[in-house]
Copies of this chain bind each other. A is one copy, B any other.
């Protein structure tokens, strides 16, 4: 069996995993134990939680984050419907990041005995999970590049593009716009800038006609220009 037979090996020219691997999705459906709903604002998982479960997101948006002792919060990623969360956590005794619902969130809990067991009994599924995790690590590294090297204007552009592309790939676009329940405070915490500066930067990009955020929805107006501003990575 080669990665190509699996149709799982990721093509770097297509920067994101377009959709959730269908076979993996199928596996998750079959192992679904129960569905859970968290209201907006609820904490789904807290750093340090013992043996957190493995979830697949059915509906709603969430954030994954880490905090410092004095309360400063870094959002690591935005979680959209279709995302699998808590796979990495299976390798640790405790959850290493926290997750909070941004909107009401529906999750289905995936059951399996144990992560090591999965590797023994279902190596193909384990492989698919691993490919997903590899892509998530890549996303973290992209974020690191963004926050470390890009200016606030570039970061905001890159974030808007990223969220838009992910949502679009999941067929969340309707009437030319995607849901956008993200607040300016979220943008600030994800990009390491202040709320006020996030506001001014978003404002400026919108004044220049690159996109429009209105009524919790995002309409992309000039993706090419936005990419220009964002400064693409080398590859």
Contact = CB atoms under 8 A, between A and B. Distances in A.
Given A74-B149, A191-B148, A92 B126 contact: no
Interface centre among A2, A47, A119, A136 (most CB of B within 10 A): A119
Interface in A197-215: none
Interface of A: 1-3, 5-6, 8-13, 47-48, 66-70, 72-74, 76, 88, 91-94, 96-97, 114-117, 119-120, 123-124, 126-127, 130-131, 133-138, 140-145, 147-150, 190-192, 231-235
In the A-B complex, the 5 residue pairs with the smallest Cβ-Cβ separation, listed nearest first, are A148-B192, A91-B134, A12-B94, A119-B127, A74-B148
A91 B11 CA distance: 9
Given A1-B120, A88-B137, A147 B145 contact: no
A14 to B, nearest CB: 9
Contacts of A68: 145, 149-150, 231-234
A124 B119 contact: yes
B92 A12 contact: yes
A232 B92 CA distance: 19
A168 to B, nearest CB: 22
